[in-house]
Structure 1
Amino acid sequence: MTRAGAVSLSTLRRDATSKSWLVDLPLIVLAWWLAFWLRFNLGLPWPYFDHALLTTPIALLCMALGLALARVPRQSWRYVSLADLRLLAVGVALGALLTTAVVMGLRIDGFPRSVFAISAVLTLVLLAGARASWRTLIERERERTHGHPGQQRQPLLVVGTLDEADHALRALKGADGWQVAGIVSPLAADHGRTVQGVRVLGDVPALADIAATLQARTVLLASAPGAPLRREALLRWSGAGLNLLTLPTADDWLRPGATPSPRQVRLEDLLGRTPVQLDTAGLTALFGGQTVLVTGAGGSIGAELCRQVARLGAARLVCVDVSEFATYRLEQELRRDHPALEGVYCTANVREVERLLAIARAHPPGVVLHAAAYKHVPLMEQGNEIEALRTNVLGTLNAARVAGAVGAARFVLVSTDKAVNPTSVMGASKRLAEQVVQAVARQFPATQYVSVRFGNVLGSSGSVVPLFTAQIEMGGPVTVTHPDIVRYFMTIPEAAQLVLQAGLMGRSGQIFVLDMGEPMKIVELARLLIRLSGKSEAEVPIAFTGLRPGEKLYEELLADDETTEATPHPKLRVAKVAPPAGDVAALAESWLAAAGAAPTADAVRAWLVGQVPEYRPHPVRF
């Protein structure tokens, strides 16, 4: 800050403090005299008039000193809160004690001691009342003038318990264009009560009738993300013409240009996922000031890993991706959001080890996050089997060896639940990639090698959510392979955060399994997306197309012969798996080199069965 800026800020603080004293000091004097007046039943006998006159300067100075010690004059009246009023009470109590000590020390004959307590109460009431009145006037003026001239404020219903409604009402004070018409609570005990002057009008089943009576077409769901109330509201009332909103989450606030305004309910708000608890201090120590290399940086998970690492204070971020456009887009985003970060953006294929090694030697990383992979199951199942092996297995082998060769402290492989009892080439290739990482870990003991498995990620490229969204926009039908197919889901930020947390906690060779919560039927996911679009299943039908090649009805996070052990983190467990037999890395490398560009699909599957015994290439058809 410049000297002129510092002087200006100091002047503003002094002005605010001076204005506070201009109101507080007269009120302190008034409270002192009112205390005498009340003490003597609304009349002040002449002898005690002298007592009041003599001690007024003492009471004023002592009370002012107590308020100053509690830093009350620095409070902003415009934003006064309960915390400020508690601090005011502390200041008044200190002032009252000082006044009592000084006046009693003067030994004034016949001085009425009850005046001390009465004046303290009156001072607190008058000072708190002044602040509350000022804030009330400011808020009313803001409500009158807020927004654009002539803008009509829309009626809004808040759905949630009293605690949730109170939080929502506070947040809405900074939002434009809304007038809270009432609260709808799921608790019968809340009915008829008020929160911040807004009344609870009824229970949740009556929401549509209440909205019609008040002519409110917008509903703010104040319940926590994942609460059953949100899903119930969406499925029951989205077709009734109600616009469902929610408040921004912590991740929303971290995005550039975030505002306090309510936003549309999103799918991740309905999935029952609780916020991830991170060892922020440990992650900051691991990534802060470090060079971090991320492969597959342009993909959904890779890009989010880059964002999270940038927030944790990495000094240099080396972003590697085979896609020029994805790399360019990531570069633009990180330059805009993290201008202090030194970014290195490389277009490279992890299957080319010399190129990868050259990048790592030019910018030696402390941590390598390997997210580059082919992950689309049906696409890798027919005609691209060898491509899945070259990228998912050979690419992982290259990245792991490079991390060890340049002395990286940690290497983290992003794996998948499809690696457990795989029925697809993609799943088997990822299981083999885990084994390759464990094999390389024995060759480079100075580097900690960790793998992390998780399930489907909402909104990631190639996932069902973008597909369903596009189908809904075209009017349907939304295609679901089977009515009973279920999957585990998590959000992109949650997946990336848990990958980083596992990388921090893991010991070399470990495979981490994420707590994915409860699995969800894909058809239920489709219904939620249809409702989120404001349409019904009558307008956008759902069609069942049958299981695709390599697809299972359900995904597992552990193989049948595996067990897990707990970790200090509630959402992370370690899979206890048998170490790979022999030098899996060398075997994979030699076979892939000999296989050529176009081995038969049967040859690829037969070799995978030999390397991954739990692989079943012929799933049961339904």
Structure 2
Amino acid sequence: MKSFLELPRIYKQIVAALADLVMLPLTFYLAVLLRYDSSTPQLFQMYFWIIVAAPLISIPIFLRLGLYRAVIRFIDQKIVFVVVMGVTLSVICMAALATFLHTVTLSRGVFGIYWVSAILYVVASRFLARGYLLRAGDRLGAVRVAIYGAGHSGMQLASALRAGHEYLPVALIDDKKELHGATIAGVRVWSPKELPALVEKKHIKEILLAIPSASKAEQKAILEKLELLKVKIKVTPPITSLVNGELRVQDVRDVEIEDLLGRDQVVPDKQLLSTCITDKTVLVTGAGGSIGSELCRQIIRQAPSRLLLLDQSEFALYSIEQELNEINSEAQLNVPVIPFLNSILDQDKCQRILQTFAVDTIYHAAAYKHVPLVEHNPIKGIRNNAFGTLSLAQAAIDAGVSCFVLISTDKAVRPTNVMGATKRLSELILQAFSKTQRKTRFCMVRFGNVLGSSGSVVPLFRKQILAGGPITLTHPEITRYFMTIPEAAQLVLQAGAMGEGGDVFVLDMGEPVRIQDLAKRMVHLSGLDVKGDGVDGIEIQHVGLRPGEKLFEELLIGDNVEGTRHPLIMRAQENEIPWTDLKEMLSALDHACIAFDYKAVRAILLKIVEEYAPQCGIEDHIWKERMVSAFSEEQPFSFSGEDGRPVLKQVIG
């Protein structure tokens, strides 16, 4: 059977035609026997030429109507109409042929019986072959699946799967009692309560969630129930994402973290989206990054007069420029996209860009954000994140930019690492500038982790699960906030429109997620077990917190927060430093960075960002290596550091 299924389609069509070549004459002769209730040589001789002509007339007609082009495993009730039309035409032609041959008078009853019998034969033979081939496909190793959702989408999916080789739907699951026991697309509908028994009885390997109209919260509740079965789960996208509202096999995907969060996206305020963008010249820094690139995708759809891209990564800048040009072409937007390969620390060129193109709005997403890397390269992180923001903000004021939006982070709240401290310092710089001038309106938008960004934990977990483990986790109690990149970018654009000057906006990230629980759920929804308590499965290893990493992230320093016109955007009131004081401290920090005076850098950073509470010593690789060298030669150490770590008695310059 496997060799037959793998034959080219032309051979399968020939087999079907040969079967009709044999069976149609027999069907006509059966009609003769039923009409006359006897069999004599004279009867056979009288109808001989018509018996011979039956397949010779019918097969070309069937061929013309496309009956042989239909894939047997794909057919449905629509084929009945084609068969009735084909048999009717063939009977009319046969009757005309009998009249033309001037044979003895033939009974009209014979043709009537043949018409009914031929229709029954052709339809029955196709559906019997379909059932047999589907069962054969099952025996050939198709994955047995249950479809959760017996509505229109579930029916579409079941039909599509039954027509293919990879999956065999053996059960439909639905909460509606009136559907229980019914058969849809050849598959019986069962209650969710019977699913655990069905998994074992019908050897179900995967469950496909086919309720695209369900909200994220409803989908999350269903996934929580299915997780206990430890069967691999796949889901369909929202109905708005489906092509023409039709569900196809390729639309089914693996469970993503956004499915587990159960967070429904709020419909954006179109006025807020367009306020700072439509018919304006917009610049995005860090345009090739995960957040910057998504900002660009959403900005270009709001029809700015020009979209300027700035990034110091050549490949990232090239990639986003090509993608935006494709969006331009597909949506017929004709928005000029102008890329600039530049660092935000190059204030002169940034100012020339802003003045030459009369930039109205800046979305500043350029930053080093990988916590351990910045911890190991603190001076570079301070230079890029804090002084880069300072340089760009001064250029924006000089060029008369109307609106400047900083993309900040939850790690700026009571930071324990250099990256978070530099982002809080960036906020303080913009807050100070807001008090000294009125030409440029500065605001900051603070949020947590975004899904799919560089360094995201979810793709790493999935890769480790596919490899059979282990999953590496820093700490069993570590928690994080999560949001999708498109939603975060959309909220940033809306928050920027509400800024009055010096605003710190905080996005509602929902409930924090315990990363270990997330890892376990990903394992279970992949149909596997977590190793432990005598159960063999995917191991979860705790490797320890990395330098500067926090167990828990926060979005607010204090409790002084107020709502805005958007339900997911809040305005926080944070402490500020007057520009006259901040300017002096920044100058001292600059000199310390130039001198590579790591101790002074940390001391000044602690003074400026009062909430900064480093959880580790100075982790710069150069500093640590020179400490080791100095220790081996002169041992110039004291153990008087506040954190109990050895510190040098002299500055290494």
Distance of aligned partners of 1:554 and 1:368 in 2 relative to their CA distance in 1, 3 Å threshold? same
The answer to whether structure 1 residue 225 and structure 2 residue 216 are counterparts is yes
2:553 corresponds to 1:563:
no
Shift in CA distance, 547/159, structure 1 to aligned 2, threshold 3 Å: same
Matched residues in 1 for 2:438 and 2:405: separation?
A: 15
Residue of structure 2 equivalent to 1:467 = 460
Query: 2:500 aligned with 1:507, yes or no?
Result: yes
Match of 2:339 among 318, 338, 345: 345
Q: How does 1:407-418 map to 2 (within 5 A)?
A: 407-418=400-411
Alpha-carbon contact 2:416-2:612 (below 8 Å) kept: yes
Change (3 A) 1:319 1:485: same
2:326 to 336, 351, 359: 336
**Residue from 418, 441, 448 that aligns with 1:448:** 441
Secondary structure of 2:251 counterpart: coil
- Residues 151-189 of structure 1: per-residue CA shift (max 9 Å, x gap): 9999864325x7xx4565579899985887653235768
Query: Measured at CA, do residues 188 and 455 of structure 1 come closer, stay the same or move farther in structure 2, by a change above 3 Å?
Result: farther
SS in structure 2 at match of 1:318: strand
Question: Over residues 220-275 of structure 1, what are the superposed CA-to-partner deviations in whole Å (9 max), with x where a residue is unaligned?
Answer: 242433533343256334x43x4523224657879xxx998333322222112111
Q: Which runs of 5+ in 1 are unaligned?
A: 1-77, 79-143, 145-149
Q: Does 1:359 align with 2:359?
A: no
Alignment of 1:238-257 (within 5 A): 239-240=230-231, 242=232, 244-248=234-238, 250=240
- Preserved CA contact (<8 Å) 2:170 2:202: no
**Cα separation, 2, equivalents of 1:229 and 1:205:** 17
8 Å contact kept, 1:451–1:511: yes
Q: Greater CA deviation, 183-192 or 412-421?
A: 183-192
Q: Find out whether 1:303 has 2:293 as its counterpart.
A: yes
Aligned partners of 2:233 and 2:526 also within 8 Å: no
Which position in structure 2 is the counterpart of 1:158? 147
Code of the residue aligned with 2:327 in structure 1: it is D
Look up the match of 1:54: none
Residues 585, 604 of structure 2: 8 Å contact kept:
no
CA distance in 1, matches of 2:373, 2:155: 49
Answering whether residue 572 of structure 2 is matched by residue 601 of structure 1, we say: no
**Shift in Å at residue 586 of structure 1?**
2.4
Q: Distance in 2 between matches of 1:401 and 1:208?
A: 67
What residue identity is the alignment partner of 2:216? P
Q: Match for residue 397 of structure 1?
A: 390
| Conservation of the 8 A alpha-carbon contact between 1:186 and 1:204 | no
Of stretches 200-209 and 562-571 in structure 1, the one that deviates more from structure 2 is 200-209
Provide the rounded CA distance (Å) in 2 between the counterparts of 1:536 and 1:216. 14
Listed one character per residue, the Cα deviations across residues 265-314 of structure 1 (whole Å, up to 9, x for unaligned) are 22222112111321113323431222110001111001111111112222
What is the deviation of 1:505? Answer: 1.6
Distance change in 2, residues 1:350/1:445 (3 Å): same
Q: Give the 5 Å matches for 1:70-469.
A: 157-160=146-149, 165-166=151-152, 169=155, 182-186=171-175, 191-192=180-181, 200-203=189-192, 206=195, 209=198, 213=202, 217-222=206-211, 223-226=214-217, 227-232=219-224, 235-237=227-229, 239-240=230-231, 242=232, 244-248=234-238, 250=240, 261-339=251-329, 340-382=334-376, 384-469=377-462
For 1:504 and 1:195, the matched residues in 2 are separated by 50
Relative distance call for 1:211 and 1:397 in structure 2 (3 A) is: farther
SS in 2 for 1:277: coil
Aligned to 1:547: 545
- % of aligned pairs identical? 42
Deviation at 1:335, TM superposition (A): 1.6
The alignment's C-alpha RMSD in Å is 3.5
1:583 equivalent among 556, 580, 602: 580
In the alignment, is the contact (CA less than 8 A) between 1:417 and 1:555 conserved in 2? yes
Q: Tell me whether 451-460 or 350-359 shows the greater mean CA deviation.
A: 350-359
8 A contact 1:485–1:553 mirrored in 2: yes
- Alpha carbons of structure 1 residues 228 and 248: separation in structure 2 relative to 1, 3 Å: closer
| Residues 189/564 of structure 1: CA separation in 2 closer, same or farther (3 Å cut) | farther
Q: What is the one-letter code of the residue matched to 1:586?
A: K
Amino acid at match of 1:458: L
Question: 1:353 is matched by which residue type in structure 2?
Answer: Q
CA contact (8 A) 1:297 1:319 kept: yes
Change (3 A) 1:234 1:300: farther
1:563-612 deviation line (CA, Å, top 9, x unaligned): 10011211111101233234365235422431244524332221111111
Q: Aligned partners of 1:504 and 1:198: how far apart in 2? A: 52
What is the CA deviation profile of residues 410-444 of structure 1, one whole-angstrom value per residue up to 9, with x for unaligned ones? Answer: 11100011111111111111111101011122333
For the Cα contact (< 8 Å) 1:266–1:532, is it kept in 2? Answer: no
Residues 297-332 of structure 1: per-residue CA shift (max 9 Å, x gap):
111001111111112222321111111111111112
8 Å CA contact 1:168, 1:247 repeated in 2: no
Determine the structure 2 residue equivalent to 1:45: none
**Residues 166 and 195 of structure 1 are in contact (CA less than 8 Å); yes or no, is this contact kept in structure 2?**
no
Instruction: Letter of the 1:292 partner, please give it.
Output: V
- Sort the Cα spacing of 1:544 and 1:252 in 2 relative to 1 into closer, same or farther, 3 A: farther
C-alpha distance in structure 2 between counterparts of 1:277 and 1:267, whole Å: 21
> Which amino acid in the other structure matches residue 343 of structure 1?
V
- More deviation, 504-513/262-271: 262-271
SS of residue in 1 equivalent to 2:599 = helix
Q: Give me the TM-score of the superposition, normalised by structure 1.
A: 0.67
Q: Secondary structure at the match of 1:523?
A: helix
Higher mean C-alpha displacement, 393-402 vs 224-233: 224-233
Q: Tell me if structure 1 keeps the 8 A contact 2:159–2:185.
A: no
Deviation of residue 199 (structure 1)? 6.0
Query: How many residues of Structure 1 are paired with residues of Structure 2 in the alignment?
Result: 466
Q: Is the aligned partner of 1:517 residue 2:514?
A: no
**C-alpha contact (below 8 Å) 1:448/1:506 kept by paired residues:** yes
Distance 1:509 1:482, change over 3 A: same
Aligned AA for 2:378? E
Whether the aligned pair in 1 keeps the contact of 2:436 and 2:579 (CA below 8 Å) is: no
CA distance in 2, matches of 1:371, 1:327: 13
The worse-fitting range, judged by mean Cα deviation, of 292-301 and 218-227 is: 218-227
Query: Partner of 1:273: helix, strand, or coil?
Result: coil
Give the aligned residue type for 1:573.
M
Q: How far apart are the structure 1 equivalents of 2:396 and 2:442?
A: 9
Is residue 617 of structure 1 aligned with residue 614 of structure 2?
yes
3-state DSSP of counterpart to 1:351: coil
**C-alpha deviations, 1:509-554, integer Å up to 9, x for none?**
1101111101111112223444565554344321001222212110
Q: Deviations over 1:374-394 (max 9, x none)?
A: 111122223x11111111111
